[in-house]
Amino acid sequence: MEIIDISVPIHPGMVVYPGDPEVRLERERSITDGATNNLSRLDLGVHTGTHVDAPVHFIEGAAGVELLPLDVLNGPCEVVAAPSLDRSAAEGVPDGAERVLFKSPNSELWALDHFPDEFERFDGAAAKVLVERGVRLVGVDYLSVGDEEAHQVLLGAGVVPIEGLDLRGVEPGPYELHCLPLPLVGSDGAPARAILTKG
């Protein structure tokens, strides 16, 4: 069985969404300083790197990330090549696909050391098409699935967004997705490890 890691490594200095906290990873105890073990402290925003959005991210009083259904985050998925994240990409989702990961030109943005001025993301109209087509999970290859309306449409309909996927080494087609966000109680999102398997 082939296992493809589609998670973005987390490290200090990595690109984060503008306004989000920077990543800090520091040694609190060190063997070289005489401690019996190494112990590190991690400080980061919950929407850093590969992460999952919870409904409360855009809907006040809605569910936190610990309540997301794991059956939606794990199962058969389609990786779809999309030259842009727009209505036509949403309409092109294969019939019956419940989990869809979109590989767009955004994939190449991971090579940058700064957040770009422009990137592909869905708008509200495209998000409504995804909901109408019965999609339960949408994954994208950069740090936001869409604008404010797109988030509200998707999260309001119970669609789970995975943001920050690294799909550079992934060919379009069918896979099994395995994605487990940290169960941060009441949180609007959580970092996740996401992999695809095939064969």
Catalytic residues: 57
Nearest to 65 by CA among 194, 186, 191: 186
11 Cβ contact list (under 8 Å, min separation 6): 23, 25
Angle at 18 between CA 12 and CA 24, to 5 degrees: 20
Number of Cβ atoms within 10 Å of the Cβ of 110: 17
Strands (E), 16-66: 24-29, 39-43, 51-53
Q: How many CA atoms lie within 13 A of 61 on its CB side?
A: 0
